[in-house]
Amino acid sequence: MKIGRIFRLSILLLSCGVFLLCAGPGTAGAGDREEIRIGTHLPLSGGNAASGRDQKWAYKVAVEDVNANGGIYVEEYGKKLPVKLIVLDDESDPGKATAAVERLVKQRDVDLILSGFTAPFGVIPGCIAADKYRTYYHATSCFIPVWKEHNFQWSTVFFFRMPDMASVPFKLLDSADKSKRPQKMGLLMENTFDGRSLGKVIKGQAKEFGYSFDYEETISTESKDYTSQILKAKQKGIEGLIIFGDTSQITTFVRQAKGNNLNYKFLHTIKGGWVAEFWNALGKDAQYITCDGFWSEDYPYEGASELGKRYFEDFNKHSVSIGSYYALAQILWQAIEDAGTLDSEEVRKAVIENKFDTVMGEIDYDEGGVGVFPAPGFQWMNGRQEVVYPFDLATQNLELAPPWNER
């Protein structure tokens, strides 16, 4: 009797197996999946909040656009699936970024993760956690060498090359009348891993372009007073400055520079000077300041102008970052469809093996998981970040700043 029951059970299990094999890939459980769960952790509070809010907007719009077309076709499930975006605030804190990724994977059951913001505060901690949980992390806003050092297996990175970005201020200075260029240069870098790493690259590029720094100093992420640095720069006759810091740091520096009559001709900001809140805080005191950024609505790529108009309609301001985040999402949507699955390993493979059409042009990742876009330069003029580099895409030429009392 016992042998007969075992035999009947074996036949039943074998029949089930034959049914699943005959059904073919993507049929079993196809009706169970109703959405693609994409997680992200962003600095919606803390020092990087202005950047985080723009990043959230770009992701949200990218989700709305793909869902307006029915979602993403996933061959494994034999249908289009809408995307659900799950956003957690990492508060510009690396420890909370790690915890946010863990919550996204373990509690919110996300399929894949869209990048946080900036290497030390979000992206690197996020990638570390993603590797731990073997979940694909689609990264940006992280210097490529910093990302490469970790030999991540479950992420890719989409950014510009550090030397390209570090060379922009010197290319801009070379474009100005030689007799009017700053004669003495200063370098102020945030005292973080990013700041120290980038500082070395900037000094290397300065040497390559025939420039040197007469004054160098690090600035604390906690500092709210830069008077001592400003007075030292003034004493040394510094007329050109490159500064790396967050928006609040650079805003404070400019206010105090004006208050202490530091008449720079050229102030190039990295990281914190490109958000619209920078102009909102300083008004015309931000005029002539150059900055880095990621993208422009003036780029000649499909959808770029329209994306910029939508952002302006929502916020009555312009952005030089949203296109890179929107493009990041565009790449992920196309990679999911190319992979035909939501499996992290397969989606990452699809990112590396394919080319993608985006609002930043055609993007192609290398075998190591690195996708590169050109490093641009902008100048604040009348409340707008005008493109000054690359020169072939520029909307205006660089203008050197007059003294404060002549503005």
Q: pLDDT 10s per residue in the chain (407 long)? A: 433 443 343 433 334 443 333 343 333 344 589 999 999 999 999 988 888 999 999 999 999 999 999 999 999 999 999 999 999 999 999 999 999 999 999 999 999 999 999 888 999 999 999 999 999 999 999 989 999 999 999 999 999 999 999 999 999 999 999 999 999 999 999 998 889 989 999 999 999 999 999 999 998 888 889 999 999 999 999 999 999 998 899 999 999 999 999 999 999 999 889 988 899 999 999 999 999 999 999 999 999 999 999 999 999 989 999 999 999 999 999 999 999 999 999 999 999 999 999 999 999 999 999 999 999 999 999 999 999 999 999 999 999 999 999 99
Shared-domain flag, residues 274 and 237: yes
Read off φ and ψ for residue 198, nearest 5 degrees.
-65, -35
Do 247 and 331 lie in one domain? The reply is: no
- 315 and 268 in a common domain: no
Whether residue 270 is found in the same domain as residue 396: yes
pTM: 0.82
> Looking at the domain assignment, is residue 22 inside a domain?
no
Phi, psi torsion values for 167, nearest 5 degrees: -85, -15
Residue 71 lies in a domain: yes
Q: Are residues 193 and 109 in the same domain?
A: no
Residue 19 is assigned to a structural domain of this protein: no
The whole-angstrom separation of Cα 373 and Cα 188 is: 26
On whether residue 20 sits in a domain, the answer given is no
- Distance (Å, whole) CA 64 – CA 85: 10
Look at residues 206, 252, 251, 213 and name the one whose alpha carbon lies nearest to residue 232.
213
Report which secondary-structure segment, H or E, holds 186: strand 185-190
Residue 9 maps to a domain: no
Label the pairing between strands 240-245 and 83-89.
Answer: unpaired
| Residue 195 exposure: Cα atoms within 13 Å on the Cβ side | 21
Q: In which domain, by residue range, is 267 found?
A: 163-293+376-406
Check whether residue 190 and residue 279 sit in a common domain.
yes
| Residues 6 or more apart whose Cβ sits within 8 Å of residue 1 | none
**Is residue 219 assigned to a domain?**
yes
Residue entry with tokens 């989606």: 347
Same domain, 261 and 237: yes
Number of domains comprising the chain: 2
